[in-house]
Structure 1
Amino acid sequence: MYLAYLYQKGRNPDEMSLWTKDDFYPIIAHKNTAGETDRWLFDTVQFMAGGSMEEYAKKENWEYLLDQTFNKQFNLGALDKAAVEAKTALESNGKIQDQHKIQVILPIPFVDPISQVAWGTMAGKSLELNPAVVGEKASLANRVKIVDWYIQNARIRFKQENYGQLELAGFYWMKEEVGYNSASEAEFIQKSAEIVHHGSTGHEKQKLYWIPFYQANGFTFWKELGFDAVMMQPNYYFNAQNKLADCILEVVYTFQSRQLVVHRLAYRLDSYLSFWSQ
């Protein structure tokens, strides 16, 4: 699984949210020393909603994320072009063996219940999220409406694009822990998982993915929350006291290029690789 970050407008240089065909090609396909594409690499690309929770406080931010994700020239459009090109190259080299398609996972930003601003309107009604204003029951219902609206829009747009080499495998829960901003936080995740699994349109079952930080709140009861696949971050890069062996779930690890050049951090990358080669 490869993680591709997208950001809100003005948050980072535009190019950080504009993944091109040339960016994706070496991620999903391998070329030998002769420059020939000889096999597939990453079979799954998970898009991420980068930035802080505050940057997704309004409906317009969610709409911008959808527009960025389904850009015809970049991001999903570019990923599909790269996959089609790779498939063509493999076929011409006699290397193709199956009907390979790249699996896509889309992000679900966190709907913050203590937001100080109204999220936006839906069906002509303003959605207030703060339980101190509308009560816990109404806050939960409005948050679930937002997730449902987002997922259904993403599914519709994915189908409309009619990608040649992409399949929508599911969605990723961006919040890396089960917070306590709301008394109904666990129920909110469970209801969101139900939407992913079934949805209001009878869509075939998709999966809900989660990558909590090391020993995050809620990681021990991830199945009860409705998650289908969970990968804990060791966070060893940030805290060398964390024990890699404690990550009893499937594990995802990340590292930055500076680890390779800064001597005092390079050993942590070595620790990752040594541990997972055992």
Structure 2
Amino acid sequence: MTNLQKIAAFPLFLCFFITSITACSQELKHEDNEEDIIFKDEPSTRELKHYQAIPNDLVLIYDGGAHRSIQWNKEHFAPYVSAQVNGEENWLFDGFLFLEIHDGQGRGFASGYQAMAARKTEWENLLKNYFAKGNGIHALNEQIEEVKKAGKVTGEFEKRKVVLCIPEPIPNQTDWGQLNGRSLQFFKKEDRLDACKWYIDYAEQLFQNASFEHVELIGFYWLAEEATNSRNLANDVADYVYEKKYDFYWIPYFNSDGYSEWRNLGFNVPYYQPNYFFSESVPYSRLQEACNRANKFQMNMEIEFDDRALKSKGWGYRLTDYLDVYEKNGVFDSLKVAYYQGGDAFYKLSQSENEEDLALYQRIIHLITQRANKPRIDQ
């Protein structure tokens, strides 16, 4: 979603965001001025290490807002858990990132998405949704159980890896709520950090209480896709994440403020968004440029598409472009890949009766299963 789109929805933010470049994985309509790009490749004082096995293929699952019409039940997860390749059932995505940008009722989980910032109650409800019976992580675990019981999948099973988003404590918010009888004020860095620590602890507690058999919590994802409001906070959040032996994920958008500084910001599992899919004004060369930057700054890559990739919408060629350029650059051989799918575009491709949709779906699952049958990529 570009910041200009956010502005259109909320005129209150017009003056503040009018100079921003872009934001999350939605429609992108700006042209880049390469002369304005400042690459920062400063040495990091933080030792770069990883605490968990990082998934090869991490699919983004947007859920938790009242505006969402998709129910992530067991049946909806089925095409993501396993698929038939060459007549044999194979395990598919090995990682699932659960995230949400706003609650659908006027409260945003990161800067710029809504006129009002999410409070403690919205943060808590977001996690409760992910751990609700029959939804989210429970549904994913149940679908894996069903596939395992059927006994048709070839290859050894490894627990599927779950990453949970951390909402951004939006600067200067004063109505977030209380911790230990104290009202938090987000003009104070220590209060912003305390909110994040509370959220991480609560997520960890819910995961432990659920006693999932087939999934494991491996990390947390910083929802803010630029460093603007995180430079003096992300490192401290990272310390707490690493203290608990989790990894800290980040997926900044193309030319995002601070994307090349991910080490110094405290993250240890970064991906890069090309933001090519969403506007035909973005040239094909964007994909190669994104690969070049990812190589320079040692980042993984994101594939982006939404319902427009379906034949009926006519933009499948742009998803094909990602696959072509990524294969040419060896992305599937040497990097981790995150998959932004709008809502559930991958599900729709898998269920389509159109030959072009199914061919695109088959190409994706072949790429994923080929990686699964190779030794795990070293991070």
Same fold by TM (over 0.5)? yes
Equivalence for 1:136: none
**Which AA in structure 2 matches 1:124?**
G
The alignment status of 1:76 with 2:137, answered yes or no, reads yes
Among 82, 89, 94, the residue aligned to 1:29? 82
Among 36, 41, 58, the residue aligned to 2:92? 41
Quote the offset at 1:97 in angstroms.
Answer: 4.0
The alignment status of 1:270 with 2:320, answered yes or no, reads yes
Contact 1:24-1:82 within 8 A present in 2 as well: yes
Contact 1:177-1:217 within 8 A present in 2 as well: yes
1:43 and 1:153 map into 2 onto residues whose CA distance is: 24
Partner deviation per Cα, 1:207-266 (whole Å, 9 max, x = no partner):
011110001111111012111111111001235146212222321021122233344x44
SS at match of 1:187: coil
Equivalence for 1:134: none
SS at match of 1:252: strand
Among 239, 261, 268, the residue aligned to 1:194? 239
Among 83, 107, 110, the residue aligned to 2:165? 107
Equivalence for 2:307: 257
Contact 2:64-2:130 within 8 A present in 1 as well: no
1:168 and 1:151 map into 2 onto residues whose CA distance is: 11
Equivalence for 2:15: none
Quote the offset at 1:96 in angstroms.
Answer: 5.1
- Provide the alpha-carbon RMSD of the alignment: 2.0
Q: Identify the structure with bigger relative contact order (alpha carbons < 8 Å, sequence gap 6+).
A: 2
Equivalence for 1:60: 121
**Which AA in structure 2 matches 1:160?**
N
Quote the offset at 1:99 in angstroms.
Answer: 4.4
Contact 2:249-2:268 within 8 A present in 1 as well: yes
Partner deviation per Cα, 1:46-100 (whole Å, 9 max, x = no partner):
10123233465211101110110111211111011011112222xx33x454342
SS at match of 1:215: coil
Cα 1:258–1:99 change in 2 (3 A) is closer
SS at match of 2:260: helix
Runs of 4+ in 1 over 6 A off after TM superposition: none
**Which AA in structure 2 matches 1:88?**
K
Normalising to structure 1: TM-score of the pair?
0.83
Normalising to structure 2: TM-score of the pair?
0.62
The alignment status of 1:148 with 2:193, answered yes or no, reads no
The alignment status of 1:214 with 2:254, answered yes or no, reads yes
2:77 and 2:203 map into 1 onto residues whose CA distance is: 21
Quote the offset at 1:33 in angstroms.
Answer: 8.1
The alignment status of 1:161 with 2:210, answered yes or no, reads yes
1:62 and 1:85 map into 2 onto residues whose CA distance is: 31
Contact 2:278-2:305 within 8 A present in 1 as well: no
Cα 1:101–1:218 change in 2 (3 A) is same
Gaps of 5+ in 2: 1-57, 103-107, 329-379
1:258 and 1:244 map into 2 onto residues whose CA distance is: 18
Gaps of 5+ in 1: 132-138
Quote the offset at 1:118 in angstroms.
Answer: 1.7
SS at match of 2:253: coil
**Which AA in structure 1 matches 2:101?**
G
1:88 and 1:96 map into 2 onto residues whose CA distance is: 13
Equivalence for 1:128: 185
Tell me the percent identity: 30
1:188 and 1:30 map into 2 onto residues whose CA distance is: 41
Contact 1:87-1:96 within 8 A present in 2 as well: no
Quote the offset at 1:145 in angstroms.
Answer: 0.2
1:161 and 1:220 map into 2 onto residues whose CA distance is: 37
**Which AA in structure 1 matches 2:256?**
A
SS at match of 2:61: strand
1:215 and 1:78 map into 2 onto residues whose CA distance is: 36
